[in-house]
């Protein structure tokens, strides 16, 4: 079985990314053939800053490795180092109905938030389909916001297979029900674009600032509250040890949950939770040569796999003659 997922190098990793994609990927390392990559071509649809893209590409590599991805037990690369994907994207785009892309919420959402509408942004899901189909992935772990893009990839694979004969595996999304959408400090989906994130590798001072920004209601401490309706509780729930979570739950239900105090506790919990990864990340970030070496090796492995699919596709559609 093949499991594959990618992340855009477009900013600092937050706890939504961690639970939606990185953690499931890392946990899958021994369960399947794992493909993890950094989608810098996708990031170009929103990042047009050379230094930022270069920095964040290596940064995303450091994030993945610091959190436990072992490059010896998976294929780990940067998307643009495997140019086969853009060739496949063209083939797929010739058979992608416009209507399929016009229905994508993510495109409409990004444009409404001010990202320039471009052909690349519109065809983003076709490049994503190429990423997935090129490696014949069975399972794709992602957050809920990517579900529709997975449906596009499936539709394209099915259409190709029906037209040219069985070629692609039709991929399945893996979306954890409980962690499908990690809430941000304002209770909406945590996302870089909403400015409501809690970063994983922040300094302690920055971390405290972000946690203190979690929006809570203004009811008195002693008033009983519904924990599930509280952003702070919903974030604490992801990290607090189970026995402590029961106590916190009781404080909400019986009255006595002091938000300020619980926020300080959350800062400590988050700081400890990512302590080891933070130290690893610092060491990795200080050694870009090592990161480049790992990524180059990964790209070699990925290209070998990619060329097998691409040869088959070229043959099926009549591009080799
Ligand atoms: P952002 O919304 O911050 O720009 P990305 O689009 O780069 O995040 O998402 C990278 C991965 O993290 C995707 O698989 C996405 O589904 C997942 N993800 C992002 N935000 C969340 C969230 N709040 N909850 C769960 N998963 C998320
Ligand atoms: N669109 C995904 C995101 O924003 C990133 C991505 C690109 C991806 N190609 C992929 C995820 C292939 C899974 C598989 O998060």
Total length of the chain: 321
pLDDT, average across residues 208-219: 95
pLDDT, average across residues 296-308: 98
Chain centroid to CA 170: 20
Q: Reduced to 3 states, what is the DSSP secondary structure of residue 62?
A: helix
Is residue 1 within 8 Å of 33, Cβ to Cβ?
yes
Q: Respond yes or no: is residue 305 known to be catalytic.
A: no
Measured in degrees and rounded to the nearest 5, phi and psi for residue 203 equal -70, 165
d(CA 80, CA 37): 10
Question: Do the bridges between strand 139-141 and strand 75-78 make them parallel or antiparallel, or are there none, so unpaired?
Answer: unpaired
**pLDDT value, residue 194:** 86
pLDDT in tens, 282-293: 999 999 999 999
pLDDT, average across residues 273-300: 97
d(CA 106, CA 121): 9
Ligand 1 binding pocket (C-beta < 6 A) is 7-8, 16-17, 19-21, 142-143, 145-146, 181-182, 189-193
60, two tokens = 């995303």
> Which residue, among 295, 311, 312, 307, has the nearest Cα to 75 in the 3D structure?
295
Q: Respond yes or no: is residue 108 known to be catalytic.
A: no
pTM of the predicted model as reported, rounded to 2 decimal places: 0.93
**Ligand 2 center to 304 CA (angstroms):** 21
Our answer on whether the CB atom of 131 is closer than 6 Å to any ligand 2 atom is yes
Nearest-10 crossing angle of helices 124-134, 105-112: 140
Is residue 93 within 8 Å of 85, Cβ to Cβ?
no
More confident residue, 191 or 90: 90
Residue 236 has pLDDT above 80, yes or no: yes
Our answer on whether the CB atom of 39 is closer than 6 Å to any ligand 2 atom is yes
Q: Respond yes or no: is residue 110 known to be catalytic.
A: yes
**pLDDT value, residue 320:** 83
Radius of gyration (C-alpha) of the chain in whole angstroms: 21
Q: What percentage of the chain carries pLDDT values higher than 70?
A: 99
Annotated catalytic residue, options 2, 192, 208, 263: 192
Residue 18 has pLDDT above 90, yes or no: yes
**pLDDT value, residue 62:** 97
More confident residue, 293 or 181: 293
Is residue 69 within 8 Å of 29, Cβ to Cβ?
yes
Minimum mean pLDDT among 6-15, 53-62, 125-134, 292-301: which range? 6-15
Domains in the chain, start-ordered, CATH in brackets?
2-180+288-317 (3.40.50.620), 202-273 (1.10.240.10)
**pLDDT value, residue 125:** 98
**pLDDT value, residue 273:** 96
**pLDDT value, residue 176:** 80
Is residue 18 within 8 Å of 58, Cβ to Cβ?
no
52, two tokens = 């930022």
pLDDT in tens, 112-146: 988 889 999 999 999 999 999 999 999 999 888 89
44, two tokens = 């170009």
171, two tokens = 């991929």
d(CA 155, CA 56): 32
**pLDDT value, residue 293:** 98
Residue 180 has pLDDT above 80, yes or no: no
Atom 11 (ligand 2) nearest CA: 6
pLDDT in tens, 33-51: 999 999 999 999 989 999 9
Q: Reduced to 3 states, what is the DSSP secondary structure of residue 115?
A: coil
15, two tokens = 């706890």
pLDDT level of residue 177 (50, 70, 90 thresholds): confident
Atom 12 (ligand 1) nearest CA: 17
Q: Which atom of ligand 2 is nearest to the CA of 4?
A: 14
Residue 179 has pLDDT above 80, yes or no: no
Compute the CA torsion angle 38, 40, 42, 47 (nearest 10 deg).
130
Give me the chain's average pLDDT, please: 95
Strands (DSSP E) along 213-268, which ranges?
Answer: none
């Amino acid at each position: 079985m093949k499991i594959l997922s990618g992340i855009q190098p477009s900013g600092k990793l937050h706890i939504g990314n961690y639970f939606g994609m990185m953690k499931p990927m890392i946990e899958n390392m021994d369960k399947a053939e794992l493909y993890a990559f950094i989608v810098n071509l996708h990031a170009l649809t929103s990042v047009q800053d050379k230094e930022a893209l270069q920095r964040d590409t290596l940064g995303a590599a450091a994030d993945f490795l610091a959190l436990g991805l072992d490059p010896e037990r998976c294929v780990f690369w940067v998307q643009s180092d495997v140019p086969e994907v853009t060739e496949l994207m063209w083939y797929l785009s010739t058979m992608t109905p416009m209507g399929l892309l016009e229905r994508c919420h993510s495109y409409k959402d990004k444009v409404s938030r001010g990202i320039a509408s471009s052909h690349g942004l519109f065809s983003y899901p076709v490049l994503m389909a190429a990423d997935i189909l090129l490696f014949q992935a069975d399972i794709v772990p992602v957050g809920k916001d990517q579900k529709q893009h997975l449906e596009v990839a499936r539709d394209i694979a099915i259409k190709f297979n029906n037209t040219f004969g069985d070629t692609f595996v039709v991929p399945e999304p893996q979306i954890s029900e409980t962690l499908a959408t990690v809430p941000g400090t304002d209770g909406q989906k945590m996302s870089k674009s909403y400015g409501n994130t809690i970063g994983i590798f922040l300094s302690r001072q920055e971390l405290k600032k972000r946690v203190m920004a979690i929006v809570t209601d203004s009811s008195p401490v002693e008033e009983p509250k519904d924990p599930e309706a509280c952003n702070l509780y919903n974030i604490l729930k992801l990290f607090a040890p189970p026995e402590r979570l029961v106590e916190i739950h009781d404080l909400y239900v019986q009255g006595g949950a002091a938000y300020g105090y619980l926020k300080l506790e959350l800062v400590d919990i988050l700081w400890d939770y990512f302590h080891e990864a933070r130290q690893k990340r610092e060491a990795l970030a200080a050694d870009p040569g090592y990161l480049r070496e790992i990524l180059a090796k990964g790209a070699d492995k990925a290209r070998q796999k990619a060329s097998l699919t691409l040869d088959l596709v070229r043959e099926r559609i009549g591009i080799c003659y």
